[in-house]
Structure formats: C-alpha cells, structure tokens
C-alpha cells in the first residue's frame, strides 16, 4: 500500500510517498512562491519521478495544524479532494507530531517550535527513547519567554537535553540558549517536517483502522484567525443569549 503525505502548515511544502517498508519518493521546497502556485507541479513531479499515479495510492495523510491558516486550508482541501475522487482513506496528522517524529532517534526531550507570529510559538513537549515519541504536554500557543521559563523549572528538578526543531528555532534561538548546555538545536536541514514522516504516520494510523472521515478532518487551530479577531473587534463578543 502506498501512502501520500503532505505538509503545507508552514512556509515549507513537504511531500512524500511511502509503502510498508521504505520511502519511495520525497520533495521539500521552501521558497517565496505561495503553496497555491507550487503545490500541483510538485505533486505531479513527485509521482512522475516515482513512476506512480494517484490510482496506485491506498491512502493519504496531511498535517492538520497548528500552523499557517492559509497553508492548512490549502493542504486539507487538496487532500480532501483527492480522497473524495479516489475513494481512499485519509489521516490527519498534527503538525507538531510530524515535526517531533522526524527526530524519533533522539533520546530525551524534543520540543518542536513553529513561529505563530504575534510573539508566540506553537509547541508541545515530547519524550523520545530512540523508538517511540511520546507527547507529554498539550498542543499550545505560548509566548517563547513563558515556554523557556517552564522548561527551566522542569529541568531544574529533572535535567535532560532538549532538542529544538521547527521554524521557530532560528527566530528564538538566543532566548532558548538560556537553557545552557541542555538546549540542543537541530541542524537547519533537519528542522522541518518531512512529507515521508507525515506519510508514515498516516500509514500507521490507517493501518490500525483509525482513518479520519472527511467531515471530521478539520484544522487544529490553537487560537482565532486574524479574520475572527477583526470581526470581534468590529462587532464585539457575542452575548450568551445570541
């Protein structure tokens, strides 16, 4: 069974195809051109290079958030359209899970960071043992200063190296460095989620019968969109009677 995985949750467009045993094909692109312009040519090139067609697929996987509101909508709409036309199962994968699992060999704490703008990051904490990546905390949008303060408190009574990865690392690396030698930073080429990891997590989810229904596959938002914030500013919060 071939599974196609897609991540458009950040500025990176990541695509991958896996089967039960290997990565069949993979592409990652980070350029200024928006997802809407680069996605279809990337998908076509990936399948052509792999010698496959969409009809060879047994399932689909896509990151469902948190992340860019526009990127998530594009990724989810693309995968939903493919799933509907092909009649195959689909799996939604939290973006932070995909990031963390790309570092599954790390033994210790793993902290993916996505730049959420507005002086916040999307993040949560995982424990890796070289085989399994266990999530320890809820997904959250938080000020990086608050994140570091919480980690300092945690590491004071249980010191352990923390591996940071994601597009929030370069922006907040100086702040994260306050953790001293316990802060470990993934190399730039290892900081982003990979399409093959999204596909593999989707393969595992679909294989155990936990595929998502198309109506249940919705973005995982950790805060209101800019449009929703502006609406509330203009109209005011709804009353309980509304």
Q: Report the pLDDT value the prediction gives residue 237, as an integer from 0 to 100.
A: 55
In a domain, 238, yes or no: no
Percent of the chain with pLDDT over 90: 87
Nearest to 214 by CA among 110, 77, 118, 100: 77
pLDDT in tens, 173-189: 999 999 999 999 999 99
In a domain, 159, yes or no: yes
118 and 148 together in one domain: yes
Confidence band, pLDDT 50/70/90 cuts, at residue 236: low
Phi, psi of 179 (to 5 degrees): -80, 0
Output the pTM of the full model.
0.91
109 and 127 together in one domain: yes
Q: What is the mean pLDDT of the chain?
A: 92
- The CATH number of the domain holding residue 27 is 3.30.420.40
- Higher pLDDT, residue 224 or 176: 176
Domain that holds residue 109: 105-190
| Over residues 57-69, mean pLDDT | 97
Phi, psi of 237 (to 5 degrees): -65, 145
Residue 213 has pLDDT above 80, yes or no: yes
Residue 4 has pLDDT above 90, yes or no: yes
| Over residues 133-142, mean pLDDT | 97
């Amino acid at each position: 069974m071939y599974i196609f995985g897609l991540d458009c949750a950040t500025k990176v467009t990541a695509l991958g195809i896996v089967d039960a045993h290997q990565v069949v094909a993979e592409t990652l692109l980070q350029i200024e051109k928006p997802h809407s312009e680069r996605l279809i040519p990337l998908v076509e090139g990936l399948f052509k290079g792999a010698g496959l067609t969409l009809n060879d697929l047994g399932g689909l996987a896509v990151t469902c958030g948190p992340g860019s509101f526009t990127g998530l909508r594009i990724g989810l709409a693309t995968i939903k359209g493919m799933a509907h036309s092909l009649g195959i199962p689909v799996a939604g994968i939290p973006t932070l899970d995909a990031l963390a699992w790309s570092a599954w060999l790390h033994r210790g704490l793993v902290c993916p960071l996505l730049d959420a703008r507005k002086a916040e990051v999307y993040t949560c904490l995982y424990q890796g043992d070289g085989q399994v990546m266990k999530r320890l905390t809820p997904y959250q949008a938080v000020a990086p200063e608050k994140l570091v303060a919480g980690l300092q408190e945690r590491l004071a009574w249980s010191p352990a190296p923390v591996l940071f990865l994601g597009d929030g690392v370069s922006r907040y690396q100086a702040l994260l460095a306050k953790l001293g030698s316990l802060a470990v930073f993934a190399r730039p080429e290892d900081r982003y989620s990979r399409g093959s990891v999204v596909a593999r997590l989707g393969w595992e989810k679909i294989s155990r019968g936990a595929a998502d229904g198309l109506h249940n596959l919705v973005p995982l938002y950790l805060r209101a969109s800019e449009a929703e914030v502006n609406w509330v500013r203009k109209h005011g919060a709804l009353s309980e009677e509304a």
